[in-house]
Chains A and B, each alone.
Chain A
Amino acid sequence: MELLVASAIGIMTAGGLYLVLRLRTFPVILGISLLTYAVNVFLFGSGRLTVGAPPILRDDVTAYTDPLPQALVLTAIVISFGMTAVVVMIGLGAFLGSDDDHVDDQPDDADKKADGAS
């Protein structure tokens, strides 16, 4: 089981990293989302894996899983939505303003700027 979770984290990280290194905004945003999943699961894993012992207190149960990583990851998930939304908005604004969704400065743009400045 641990192998499955760890490898899933690894695979999601690898996919996320690859997509983050792409040249257009949309794949980069998806890459960041994939990385977010990986990070969240990784943090969640810091409470170790427990099956069938949710941290809901019951009278006849004594073993529970670690609730703290869950609480932290819960807010992380919500915040990551806010972050994704902001990044998407920035990417969208840039695209609408210039009809270009590259994440890198384009060489001809840089030349134009340099010409304008001189």
Chain B
Amino acid sequence: MEEAVVNVPLEQEEYIINMGPQHPSTHGVLRLVVSLKGEMVQNVQPHIGYVHRGIEKMCENLTYQQIIHLTDRMDYLSAHINNEAVCLAVEKALGIEVSDRVKYIRTILSELTRIQSHQLFWATYGMDLGGLTCFFYGLRDRELILDIFEETCGGRMIVSYNTPGGLMNDIHPNFQKRTKDFIKYFRKTLPEYDRLLTGNVIFQERLKGIGRINREDAIAWGLTGPVGRASGFSCDIRKHNPYSAYDKVTFNEILYDEGDSFHRYQVRMDEMWESMNIIEQLIDNIPEGAYAEKMKPVIKLPEGEYWQSVETARGELGVFIESDGNKYPYRMKFRSPNFVNLAPLNIMATGFKIADLVAINGSLDLVIPDIDR
């Protein structure tokens, strides 16, 4: 405690506060060491690793079917998409072409995952900015998607529905109807979000021009997902390198040039509309076919290096597998979007106020377990 007395830096220029690892606005166990001058942020230093579980190392002792379940625990809000990334990588390595049915279902579920992730973003972002009602509205609608997941996948958040070569089970008979009902409902409800939060003067004043990052910097820092697209960096993997059924649907890549917190928010709001469009194009046309290819119980990938990237709700998730021909991967590496998106927080937040730091941090929509893995 003696040290604490010395540390109160009233004589110094900088006033250092420690946001996290237990802080309401860091959405997990992220620790930000913030130097302040008055209310102005001078420097932000993210400290990560509080939920490091060594997932990449653990993968080296697990079969590919088992790895799927670990990927759920990285970005738990994009659990289905994470599963899909590993499955696609394994299928690519084995040269398996899954049936169209699997592709369609995977795509629909991916987009549902994206919507529920953005709903949670909207909910928590409103809360970050002090609008507590948003949280309940967001969760109310997210519940409907989780119910669809529960029925078809068994899990609500941690779905583990994919498996190399297809899906665990076929879809539930109610799946199509419930999904269509949800789309119908959410098309009516989403404008409510805009009325409550987006159009609010205080909300817009809080966010416009805050935490701006331009296109060159966004590319240089490797920002992907809504964060990158808000800066005008066209980085949608679904568009540029289509996987599953994304080449069969038409949708727009949402791009803005401003690169501030408000447009990062706006990209996500628009993406929910696009996701609904994608689902509507697919949901009635799910072709008949096998829900899974016949796979060997033990999958051994041929020797070599494999890479597959997918677009999660937060950006590009890359899966790198190096195989030595064994049933376990020799090395497994995930390129997680959150880790990369967190990196430029310092240059985004410097010069703004501490309340803006919360707004910027929220607009990055970080999921901490994905950073730490």
Partners in one complex: no
B residues with CB within 8 A of A: none
A residues with CB within 8 A of B: none
